Amino acid sequence: MPDRSLESDSSAVLVEQIAEQALEKKAEDVISLDVNELTSLTDFFLICSADTEPQIKAICDNIRKGTNSKPWHIEGYEKLHWVLLDYIDVVVHVFRTTEREYYSLEKLWADAPRREFTD
């Protein structure tokens, strides 16, 4: 059986790298939610937002280029309103600000430990 703490440590490092890349392109309200104890889907959600589609694209592109890991799956990149980058242990949500307010994932996962990232 794999050591879950080692997986969680590498996931935490990936969250840090992704947050850094998002902030580099001026992502707003960058947070991570540690959902490891709440779901078997993933260890972390990283959530951020931007006001414009070009900025969302820039954030997503910078994350993809700036990390050693490559996403297993990408959703929403064509429309750029809610882009999901699935790194298995870390799922990144890059929202357009209005969609983030509407879907309110932070409230849905309110029981998860939360961390805010700033530049």
Give the residue from 29, 51, 46 showing the smallest Cα distance to 97: 51
Domain count, the chain: 1
Structural domain range at position 85: 4-117
Report the pLDDT value the prediction gives residue 45, as an integer from 0 to 100: 98
CA distance 112 to 15: 15
**How confident is the model at residue 1, as a pLDDT?**
39
* Per-residue confidence (pLDDT) for residue 4, from 0 to 100: 45
pLDDT computed for residue 5 by the predictor? 46
Q: Which tens digits make up the pLDDT trace of 68-77?
A: 999 999 999 9
What is the share, in percent, of the chain residues with pLDDT greater than 70? 93
- Residue 99 sits in a domain whose CATH number is 3.30.460.10
Q: pLDDT digit string (tens) for 86-100?
A: 999 999 999 999 999
pLDDT of 119 reads 83
pLDDT one-digit tens code per residue, 60-69: 999 999 999 9
Long-range contacts of 105-111 (CB under 8 A, 24+ apart): 105/33, 105/45, 105/47, 106/31, 106/33, 106/47, 109/33, 109/35, 109/38, 109/45, 111/38
pLDDT, residue 8, reads 60
Chain segment 13-34, per-residue pLDDT in tens: 999 999 999 999 999 999 999 9
Facing residues of 93 across strands?
Answer: 47, 84
